[in-house]
Structure 1
């Protein structure tokens, strides 16, 4: 067995290991139960996930809590300039974005005309943007589909009672129009010899 380093010896001699365990035990018993949990489901067991949710989200980092969300979900998230190695992270992110762009172009070049048309149609209907705007467009599409279904349905055959009522309503409307025309004609002033 390898000899312990001075740091390991100091850790053991000051009892920091026990202090750390006590702090973790206290955190797990008193604080953790009150923190928001992930609402995801485990694939292997099918039970609810017991991990803590990412702050401000409803999922843990394993179930997508670290993925950008909100109105800027589709925009590239740059590293914070306050981090120690932000330049390296930024360069890696830009290289990855360029590599993904080239892969996307190669994939589009290999597509058949039908597959490309289908892809362009999908891109046209799935535009990024604010969540509220996407929900409104989705609701508009659903309403348009429902209207189309209703418009394509054949007209229902009216019952004899309804047909009789519609005929009577048409007769009454025609009589009303005739009496309005007569009343309008009586209101017209007659022109005399001295006008």
Structure 2
């Protein structure tokens, strides 16, 4: 009897699975859950510290959650030995702020809830960044009615629901990446699409967080 070796998936099949597109060997891959923005605070040491861990230890000295019905969801370093503490809801965040209000070791301030952001990767440098919002609204019918109409009716490409924040370098020198701030309805739909039309391209869309390090 002949031996059959297990065939490895082709590059196209692997890419299709990663993007949630159906491949020839099976159904679509499960789409990962969309990230959520949780209430958070920024902790700053009152005195200069040499290491970020020292700041974390100061925070632990100032507040204990042993007698609480909650705990922080995540602690993330940011910059200058500061760190970001996330909570499940606003009540938990506000409780921590109140308990740290008179602390002499650290200061705590709430993080302003920013609109969610997405990154479009691999846009041709032939496409001016100031044209992106209008192009995306025009070429993608699923988004047209969600993106503010003023972005396509005026000289300005600004839109309250979908706004270009900044550009980022792409590994290909002929391309660039663009980060957009999006209202919830646009954010959900554009991530659900996975790719959007931009001039002569279909470019990949991913969620973007300025706090990811």
Normalised by the size of structure 2, how large is the TM-score? Answer: 0.22
Structure 1 or 2: more helix by fraction: 1
Structure 1 or 2: more strand by fraction: 2
**Higher relative contact order, structure no. (Cα contacts within 8 Å, ≥ 6 residues apart):** 2
